[in-house]
Amino acid sequence: ASTQHQPRGAFIVFEGADRAGKSTQCQMLVEHLQAAGVAAELWRFPDRTTAIGKMINSYLTSQAEIDDAAVHLLFSANRWEKREELLRKLRAGTTLVVDRYAYSGVAFTAAKGAPGLDRAWCMAPDAGLPAPDAIFFLNLTVEQAAARGGYGEERYEKADFQRKVLEQFQGMRDSSWRVIDASQSIEDIQQQLREQAGAVVARCQRGGEPIKQLWG
Ligand code: ADP
Ligand code: 2DT
Ligand code: MG
């Protein structure tokens, strides 16, 4: 059997618009898994700690202006530079709970509506990256998100743009995405996530689950 079919960690991605509760739920889920004896790590994209990630951070905090196409490729490169470590961790049995991935990459750039940067163009650089075993989409309207105390200071944190991002997510998501009503209480959402993620972790631990690739 190929090494991909051995028992391994699960690759679990969280997506959703800003303030939907991704970071809160990811953190809680990782702590829950660890307390249950599951090897698990919290990852996030962009990973702002790398050289590429520092350029992305400068862009998001408006310390740098970068061409729309170029910054899109930086976000993708930031995933590619983590690919080997990600695969190594999964094969070593570590479950990765990941706060945003390539779906955010496509949704945020396509939402700009810039000439030439349509969804197909946005998807191309991520083709061949490891695909997650589960995608949880925390579903919240812009109005509900804004009621959580308003958006922050970063480049994309504006209601009009967030609405366009949500439209992109709706157009992209398929039946494999697990849509969670993010207007529920933090505890209720976490309960549902623990059940569903637990099943995915168990499936990957049993083996026989190949690591697929985007955009499969
Ligand atoms: P994201 O990472 O998706 O932007 P966060 O987890 O940072 O979202 O949450 C955004 C804000 O909303 C935080 O102040 C957080 O405490 C709050 N929050 C998160 N989940 C809920 C929820 N289910 N109900 C109400 N407020 C929430
Ligand atoms: P947070 O660190 O708060 O999640 O915000 N983004 C993210 C992109 O534009 N392209 C990408 O590929 C990814 C992963 C979403 C990060 C911001 O960066 C945006 C919000
Ligand atoms: Mg967050």
Residues 136 and 29: beta-carbon distance below 8 Å? no
Ligand 3 centroid–CA 152 distance in Å is: 11
Q: Given a cut of 90, is residue 1 above it in pLDDT?
A: no
Q: In the chain, pLDDT over 70 holds for what percent of residues?
A: 98
Query: pLDDT tens-digit profile of 92-129?
Result: 999 999 999 999 999 999 999 999 999 999 999 999 99
Residues 136 and 196: beta-carbon distance below 8 Å? yes
**For a substitution probing ligand 2, which of 100, 135, 162 has the most ligand atoms within 8 Å of its CB?**
100
Please count the helices (runs of H) and the strands (runs of E) in the chain. 9, 5
- Ligand having the closest approach to the CA of 168: 2
Identify residues whose C-beta is under 5 A from ligand 3, the ion.
Answer: 22-23
ipTM summary value:
0.99
pTM above 0.90, yes or no: yes
DSSP E strands: which ranges in 68-206?
95-99, 134-139, 178-181
Query: Residues near ligand 1 with C-beta < 6 Å?
Result: 16, 18-24, 148-149, 185-186, 189
- Identify the residue whose C-alpha is closest to ligand 1 atom 23: 186
Note the pLDDT of residue 4.
54
Query: pLDDT tens-digit profile of 41-70?
Result: 999 999 999 999 999 999 999 999 999 999
Ligand 1 centroid–CA 24 distance in Å is: 6
The set of residues, in sequence order, having a beta carbon less than 8 Å from that of 203 and lying 6+ positions away, is 10, 133, 209
Note the pLDDT of residue 103.
98
